[in-house]
Amino acid sequence: MKIMAGNSNLPLARDIAAYLEMPLTDAAVRRFADEEIFVEIHENVRGEDVFVIQSTSGPANDNLMELLICMDALKRASAKRITAVVPYFGYARQDRKPGPRTPISAKLVANLITTAGADRVLSVDLHAGQIQGFFDIPTDNLYAAPVMAADIQARFPLENLMVVSPDVGGVVRARALSKRLNNVPLAIVDKRRERAGESEVMNIIGDVAGHFCVLHDDIVDSAGTLCNAAAALMQAGATGVVAYVSHGVLSGGAVARVEGSALTELVVTDSIIAPEAAKGAKKLRFLTIAPLLGEAIRRIADESSVSSLFD
């Protein structure tokens, strides 16, 4: 097999290649003067099982086009099988029609990836499980929960620990983490916005008083929901709050918002390369998912079980 990387997250791609003890494929992924993307593969890939590592994080459109063009180049170079390894799947939050005359962009992106030549897709913590059904090719959705659970167990005593979902939609995800932490108690933050432009009203479902709370979510973008939830939990009597999130989009003033919040720490994976604002941030920490992705890639190449990674 061969490992090829786009430019969206080269450090993660290098770490995955190091885990697999193999070099990245020699390729040039660059821009013309007018910002058009050009890909040139400098080694033979005919008949190879190729894994293209590319998160479609911001700038989402550029990184998505890089992924599509890389796969087209591989397809035209007669690669036997192409797997799109997309640690962070952009446009995932547009997975349904929230109102009339709106797109389902996640389905459109799935169609583009398939048409570009992908035979398989590998991602981490898709925003919604039904996105797997948007693809007509095999799709593996990995979970960062085992990596997070191991880190939580190494750093915090489980006696007074409580896992908290920052909204009702994330309950299944939070319950899965709770199960990995010896079934610690679970609470839910019920987030309601009374009217547009007004701050959210936070109601806590569950007794968090005297507990150290672990907020768990899949994406942190502006960090507003996490910071508001942390404040509500502290007000309800929690002894402390940390947040574990799979994908650190961290747009705009998110890092500054976290630094000034009630959160003790925000822990995110390296599925998205750290923004410039994250350098020097005291409350931000990164966990690597390179071994998780590397092992999944090895198992796909060997035609062995991927789901047994999470048993």
Active site residues: 191
- Long-range contacts: 172-176, Cβ < 8 Å, 24+? 173/125, 173/145, 173/216, 173/217, 173/218, 174/216, 176/143, 176/145
Q: Is 94 annotated as a binding residue?
A: yes
Does 223 show up as a binding residue in the annotation?
Answer: yes
Alpha-carbon gap, residue 58 to 47, rounded angstroms: 32
Asked whether residue 235 is marked as a ligand-binding residue, the answer is no
Residue 237 labelled as part of a binding site: no
211 assigned ligand-binding residue: no
CA–CA gap between residue 21 and residue 259 (Å, rounded): 37
Find out whether 167 is annotated in a ligand binding site.
Answer: yes
62 is in an annotated binding site: no
136 belongs to an annotated ligand binding site: no
**What value, to the nearest 5°, has the Cα angle with vertex 28 and ends 27 and 31?**
155
Annotated ligand binding at 79? The verdict is no
193 among the known binding-site residues?
A: yes
- Is residue 152 within 8 A of residue 181, CB to CB? The reply is yes
CA nearest neighbour of 287 among 241, 248, 256, 260:
248
Give the residue from 252, 246, 227 showing the smallest Cα distance to 58: 252
Q: Is 26 annotated as a binding residue?
A: no
Dihedral (C-alpha) 228, 231, 236, 240: value to the nearest 10 degrees?
130
Task: Tell whether 225 is in a known binding site.
Answer: yes
Q: Which residues are annotated as a binding site for Mg(2+)?
A: 127, 167
- For the annotated binding site for ATP, the residues are 34-36, 93-94
Could you tell me which residues are annotated as the binding site for D-ribose 5-phosphate?
193, 217, 221-225
